[in-house]
Structure 1
Amino acid sequence: MISNASRRLALRGPLAIAAAAFALAPLHASAADKVLRVSAIPDEAPTELQRKFAPLGKYLEAETGMKVQFIPVSDYAAVVEALASNKIDMAWLGGFTYVQARIRTKGTATPIVQRAEDAKFTSKFITASPAIKSLNDLKGKTFAFGSPSSTSGSLMPRYYLQQAGITPEKDFKTVAYSGAHDATVAFVAAGKAEAGVLNTSVWDKLVEQKKVDPAKVRVFATTPTYYDYNWTVRGNLDPTLVKKLTTAFLKLDPAKPADKQIMDLQRASKFIPTTKANYDSIEKAARTAGLLK
Structure 2
Amino acid sequence: MNKTTSRLLAGFALAAFALAAQAQQVFRITAIPDESPTELARKAAPLVKYLERKLGTKVEFTPVTDYAAAVEALVNKQVDLAWFGGFTFVQANQRSGGKVIPLVQREEDEKFRSVFITTDPAVKSLADLKGRNLSFGSQSSTSGHLMPRNFLLAAGVDPDRDLKRVAYSGAHDATVAAVASGKVDAGALNISVWEKLVADKKVDPAKVRVFYTTPAYYDYNWSVHADMPAAQRQKLAQAFTELSAATAEGKEILELQRATRFLPTRVENYKGIEGAARNAGLLK
SS of 2:50 mapped into structure 1? helix
Distance 1:29 1:212 in 2: 47
| Equivalent in 18, 21, 27 of residue 36 of structure 1 | 27
* Matches for 1:119-268 after TM superposition, within 5 Å: 119-268=110-259
**Structure 1 residues 180 and 135, CA, compared in 2 at 3 Å: closer, same or farther?**
same
Q: What's the offset of the Cα at 1:161? A: 0.5
Structure with larger Rg: 2
Where does residue 84 of structure 2 map in the other structure? 93
Aligned position for 2:101: 110
For 1:33 and 1:77, the matched residues in 2 are separated by: 24
For the pair 1:64 / 2:59, whether they are aligned, the reply is no
SS at structure 2 position matched to 1:203: helix
Give the length in aligned residue pairs. Answer: 266
Give secondary structure in 2 for the equivalent of 1:69.
Answer: strand
Deviations 1:187-242 (A, max 9, x none): 00000100000010000000000000000000000110000000000121122111
Contact 1:30/1:37 (CA < 8 Å) preserved in 2? no
Q: How far is 1:31 from its partner? A: 8.3
268-277 vs 233-242, which moves further: 233-242
Give the Å deviation of 1:127: 0.1
1:83 to 64, 74, 79: 74
- Distance of 1:175 and 1:146 partners within structure 2: 10
Please state whether the residue corresponding to 1:246 is helix, strand or coil. helix
The one-letter code of the counterpart of 1:273 is: P
- Residues of 2 paired with 1:60 and 1:29: CA distance? 22
**Deviation at residue 258 of structure 1 after TM alignment:** 1.3
Per-residue displacement from partner, 1:125-151 (whole Å, max 9, x unpaired)?
000011101111100000000000000
Match of 1:237, as an amino acid?
Answer: M
In the alignment, the residues of structure 2 paired with residue 121 and residue 240 of structure 1 have an alpha-carbon distance, to the nearest angstrom, of 30
For 2:261, which of 270, 281, 286 is the aligned residue? 270
In structure 2, how many angstroms separate the alpha carbons of the residues matched to 1:278 and 1:152?
15
Q: Distance in 2 between matches of 1:32 and 1:244?
A: 21
Q: 1:4: which partner in 2? A: none
TM-score, scaled relative to structure 1 = 0.89
Give the letter for the 2:194 counterpart.
Answer: W
- The 3-state SS of whatever aligns with 1:220 is strand
TM-score, normalized by length of structure 2? 0.92
Q: Look up the equivalent residue of 2:27 and give its one-letter code.
A: L
State how far apart, in whole Å, the 2-side matches of 1:102 and 1:160 are. 24
Q: CA deviation at 1:88?
A: 0.7
Gaps of 5+ in 1: 1-27
The answer for the alignment partner of 1:12 in structure 2 is none
Give, in whole Å, the separation in 1 of the partners of 2:20 and 2:260: 34
Instruction: Give the drift of 1:33.
Output: 2.9
**Matched position secondary structure for 2:263:** strand
CA separation in 1, counterparts of 2:218 and 2:21? 30
Show structure 2 runs of 5+ residues with no match. Answer: 1-18
Counting aligned pairs with the same residue, the percent is 61
| Aligned equivalents of 2:77, 2:162: Cα separation in 1 | 41
Corresponding residue for residue 282 of structure 2:
291
Q: Aligned-pair distance for 1:83? A: 1.0
User: Alpha carbons of 1:29 and 1:111: their partners in 2 closer, same or farther (altered >3 Å)?
Assistant: farther
Determine the structure 2 residue equivalent to 1:54: 45
Amino acid at match of 2:173: D
Q: What is the rounded CA distance, in whole Å, between the counterparts of 2:100 and 2:22 in structure 1?
A: 18
